[in-house]
């Protein structure tokens, strides 16, 4: 029997067992609409379908054109970018949940026209606005106020209420400054001054976040849309199966590897869950994993996908702009922490499999790695090319453009992966739709940044945090972590990072932490909020596929992702982990101690190392693991003693 016949037979058996077990197949469209607001859009037929397609394709072509031949002036480029996005948001996302999902409501049609026209006011009257900078007319003020309100409404529709509430609180703070007692008081801002600052400068709606979105974030999202068209996701799953499917607890390890690989092309944890979880979660349940654990594995791995270079989430591009370093430096800094994160998840999965006595899939039922690479390995050419281009010094925009072309060209090398002209055009539309959430989140984050810069809130909050922490680094990091996680529970990663990096990162930097380490710290905890209850979107999405209890799935995912709660502290205390001003021996030392520490923490969380662990052993494993975080010889020695003692207790228990 050939490999393909084996796989087909396995799939048929799995399908039959799922039917016998009463498992229903997951409708990915309905699933994504339930857990991801960006996917809950109108699906038109007829005239409006054509209108949406024309606008979306024109949007993508505009971005490709400016990427190839040079962008316009910053304010004009960003205004056109936002105009396209606003039109699509108001057409695709209804104002009320009760309104039809397959027909256009007149109110939304009118709002779409207004929302698209207002940013174009900046384009058509650009020279006049420059000449009267700081002296807005009454019409300017009306346009500015409407522009801000419509951005908030667009955010409500495509991103959700939490980010709207956060932005509204900041706006209220701008006006209420004189009435606020204590350290947060300020002299206040007039309506006309704030409207002009937020809408007619590049420090508000049209600030750095939207600027990054209007240049290379969009092109990377378009690149991801074409990669999905080629079937790269299936290639990743087949590759992961051939590498780890046979190992103990194989399907769970397959989920970790494939989700990490999918993270190179997707910046959404929920999209990662839907893309790989619909295949890996049933495999894990079939092997014997409990539904709550199977969903948790996929959620933890998919969330970590946003940490995986070379193409991380949109926030990574913003980090490069905020820190003022090339994007390749962000990628370089993220490599070791990302590998350590997935090592931690893999260790937890391995210990759970050993504890439950779970085995892998027989090798004769798995694809051979040589065959997988021979048939679909060419699909990875664009990813390898984009790494080479970034390392060689090309700009992210130019690298993304080349990668899009290489993706289409690589798909043509085999008939099984070849995409048609219709797929190429459809990719333009899909890329524009996929970018809407990021664009609106960036515009809304710009409102928050505008208020912070106008009122000086960043410096005020920084001084308050330092006072609360009494000038100590670890308490300051802890307060920053809590802030990032709370914001991340309802705010997209991009906006979360913008807020925390604007407010909290400068505070950490004041305490002597390298800039990249401070920004990476807030980035990590904004992402890990997706698996942190009570609002753990990735975990809840995975529970929908696993048919499990959402809260238990979220708690299990938090335990599996324990490495993400530890790694940021490691690289703040020892920036060598980010390869900042360090040497190879120092990097190897910190990697070694970090892996040993995570081994101990994973054993404690799993209650298993070489046999089941009691509470005393678990406490010793956990404490020993934590002590390995601090790059200090004394703490490392104490940690090793605790871990060694717990290990000897395990050996003694096993021999008994």
Asked if residues 321 and 449 have their Cβ atoms less than 8 Å apart, the reply is no
Between residues 360 and 557, which one has the greater pLDDT? 557
Q: Is the pLDDT of residue 647 over 50?
A: yes
pLDDT level of residue 401 (50, 70, 90 thresholds): very high
Supply the DSSP string of 11-80, one letter for each residue. Answer: HHHHHHHHHHTTPPPP-HHHHHHHH-GGG------THHHHHHHHHHHHHHHHHHHHHHH----HHHHHHH
Arithmetic mean of pLDDT over the chain: 86
**What is the C-alpha to C-alpha distance for residues 174 and 181, in angstroms, rounded to an integer?**
14
Report the predicted TM-score, pTM, of the whole model to 2 decimal places: 0.86
- The tens digit of pLDDT for each residue in 585-610 reads 888 888 888 889 889 999 999 999 98
pLDDT at 21: 39
pLDDT level of residue 20 (50, 70, 90 thresholds): very low
Three-class secondary structure assignment of 519-555: HHHHHHHHHHHHHCCCCCHHHHHHHHHHCCCHHHHHH
Report in angstroms the alpha-carbon separations of 60 from 199, 213, 434, 437.
24, 13, 11, 15
612: which strand partners?
608
Q: Is the pLDDT of residue 45 over 80?
A: yes
Q: Is the pLDDT of residue 67 over 90?
A: yes
Across 338-342, 457-461, 539-543, 622-626, least confident range: 457-461
pLDDT level of residue 167 (50, 70, 90 thresholds): very high
* Helix and strand counts by DSSP (H, E) for the chain: 32, 0
Q: For 612, which DSSP code?
A: B
pLDDT level of residue 406 (50, 70, 90 thresholds): very high
- The tens digit of pLDDT for each residue in 447-502 reads 999 999 899 887 787 778 778 888 788 888 998 888 888 877 767 777 778 887 88
For 484, counting Cβ atoms within 10 Å of its Cβ (0-12 exposed, 13-18 middle, 19+ buried), the class is buried
- Choose among 559, 495, 563, 555: nearest CA to 526: 495
- Half-sphere exposure in the Cβ direction for 164 (13 Å, CA): 14
pLDDT at 232: 84
Q: Which residue has the tokens 């390898």?
A: 384
pLDDT at 411: 92
pLDDT level of residue 516 (50, 70, 90 thresholds): very high
**What is the C-alpha to C-alpha distance for residues 506 and 601, in angstroms, rounded to an integer?**
30
Is-cis flag, bond preceding 286, omega within 30? Answer: no
**What is the C-alpha to C-alpha distance for residues 306 and 492, in angstroms, rounded to an integer?**
12
pLDDT at 254: 85
In this prediction, residues 85-100 reach a mean pLDDT of 90
**What is the C-alpha to C-alpha distance for residues 386 and 391, in angstroms, rounded to an integer?**
8
**What is the C-alpha to C-alpha distance for residues 236 and 263, in angstroms, rounded to an integer?**
11
Q: Which residue has the tokens 């993400």?
A: 564
| CB neighbour list of residue 501: distance below 8 Å, 6 or more residues apart | 318, 319, 322, 519, 522, 523
Across 17-21, 234-238, 514-518, 566-570, least confident range: 17-21
Helix axes 269-287, 291-304, angle to 10 degrees: 150
Q: For 608, which DSSP code?
A: B
- The tokens for 217 are 């974030």
Between residues 53 and 24, which one has the greater pLDDT? 53
Other C-beta atoms closer than 10 Å to the C-beta of 192 total 16
Most confident of 5-14, 80-89, 325-334, 563-572: 80-89
pLDDT at 92: 95
pLDDT at 1: 41
pLDDT level of residue 23 (50, 70, 90 thresholds): very low
In this prediction, residues 8-16 reach a mean pLDDT of 41
In this prediction, residues 25-52 reach a mean pLDDT of 74
Helix axes 537-546, 269-287, angle to 10 degrees: 40
Rg value, the chain, Cα: 25
Q: CA geometry: angle at 245 spanning 239 and 246, to 5°?
A: 130
- The tens digit of pLDDT for each residue in 273-324 reads 877 788 788 888 887 888 999 999 989 988 888 888 877 777 888 899 989 9
Asked if residues 319 and 216 have their Cβ atoms less than 8 Å apart, the reply is no
Which element (helix H / strand E) includes 338? helix 327-356
- The tens digit of pLDDT for each residue in 187-233 reads 889 998 999 999 999 999 999 999 999 998 999 999 988 988 888 87
């Amino acid at each position: 029997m050939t490999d393909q016949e084996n796989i087909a037979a396995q799939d048929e058996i799995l399908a039959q067992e799922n039917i016998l077990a009463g498992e229903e197949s997951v409708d990915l469209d309905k699933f994504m609409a339930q857990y991801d607001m960006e996917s809950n859009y109108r699906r038109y037929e007829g005239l409006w379908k054509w209108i949406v397609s024309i606008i979306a394709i024109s949007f993508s072509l505009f971005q490709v054109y400016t990427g190839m031949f040079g962008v316009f002036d910053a304010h004009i480029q960003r205004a056109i970018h936002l105009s396209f996005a606003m039109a699509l948001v108001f057409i695709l996302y209804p104002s009320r949940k009760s309104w039809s999902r397959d027909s256009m409501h007149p109110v939304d049609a009118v709002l779409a026209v207004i929302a698209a026209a207002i940013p174009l006011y900046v384009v058509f009257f650009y020279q006049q606005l420059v000449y009267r900078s700081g002296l807005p007319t009454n019409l300017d003020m009306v346009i500015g106020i409407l522009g801000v309100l419509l951005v908030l409404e667009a955010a409500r529709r495509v991103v959700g209420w939490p980010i709207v509430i956060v932005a509204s609180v900041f706006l209220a703070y701008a006006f209420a400054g004189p009435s606020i007692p204590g350290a947060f008081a300020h002299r206040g801002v007039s309506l006309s001054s704030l409207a002009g600052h937020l809408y007619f400068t590049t420090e508000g709606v049209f600030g750095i976040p939207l600027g990054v979105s209007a240049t290379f974030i969009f092109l990377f999202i378009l690149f991801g849309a074409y990669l999905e068209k080629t079937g790269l996701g299936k290639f990743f799953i087949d590759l992961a199966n051939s590498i780890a499917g046979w190992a103990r607890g194989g399907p769970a390890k397959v989920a970790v590897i494939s989700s990490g690989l999918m993270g190179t092309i997707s910046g959404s944890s929920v999209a990662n869950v839907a893309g790989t979880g619909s295949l890996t979660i049933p495999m894990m349940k079939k092997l014997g994993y409990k539904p709550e654990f199977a969903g948790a594995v996929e959620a933890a791995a998919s969330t970590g996908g946003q940490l995986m270079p070379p193409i991380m989430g949109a926030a990574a591009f913003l980090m490069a702009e905020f820190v003022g370093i090339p994007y390749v430096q962000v990628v370089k800094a993220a490599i070791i922490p990302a590998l350590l994160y997935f090592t931690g998840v893999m260790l937890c999965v391995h210990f759970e499999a050993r504890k439950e006595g779970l085995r892998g899939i027989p090798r004769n039922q798995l694809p051979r790695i040589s065959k997988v690479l021979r048939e679909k390995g060419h699909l990875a050419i664009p990813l390898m090319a984009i790494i080479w281009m970034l390392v060689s010094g090309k700009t992210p925009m130019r690298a993304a453009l080349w990668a899009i072309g290489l993706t289409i060209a690589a798909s043509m090398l085999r008939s099984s992966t070849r995409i048609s002209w219709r797929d190429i055009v459809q990719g333009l539309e899909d890329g524009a739709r996929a970018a809407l959430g990021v664009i609106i989140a960036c515009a809304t984050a710009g409102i928050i940044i505008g208020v912070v810069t106008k009122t000086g809130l960043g410096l005020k909050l920084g001084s308050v945090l330092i006072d609360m922490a009494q000038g100590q680094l670890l308490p300051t990091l802890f307060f920053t972590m809590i802030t990032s996680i709370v914001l991340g529970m309802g705010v997209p990663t991009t906006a979360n990072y913008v807020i925390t990096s604007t407010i909290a990162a400068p505070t950490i930097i004041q305490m002597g932490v390298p800039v990249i380490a401070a920004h990476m710290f807030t980035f990590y905890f904004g992402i890990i909020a997706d698996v942190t209850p009570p609002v753990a979107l990735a975990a809840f999405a995975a529970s929908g596929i696993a048919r499990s209890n959402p809260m238990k799935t979220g708690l299990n995912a938090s335990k599996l992702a324990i490495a993400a709660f530890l790694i940021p502290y490691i690289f703040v205390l020892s920036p060598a982990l980010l390869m900042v001003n360090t040497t190879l021996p120092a990097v190897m030392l910190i990697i070694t101690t970090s892996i040993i520490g995570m081994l101990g923490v994973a054993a404690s969380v799993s209650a298993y190392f070489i046999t089941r662990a009691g509470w005393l052993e678990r406490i010793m494993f956990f404490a020993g693991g934590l002590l390995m975080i601090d790059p200090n010889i004394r703490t490392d020695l104490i940690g090793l003693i605790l871990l060694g003692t717990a290990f000897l207790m395990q050996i003694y228990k096993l021999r008994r």
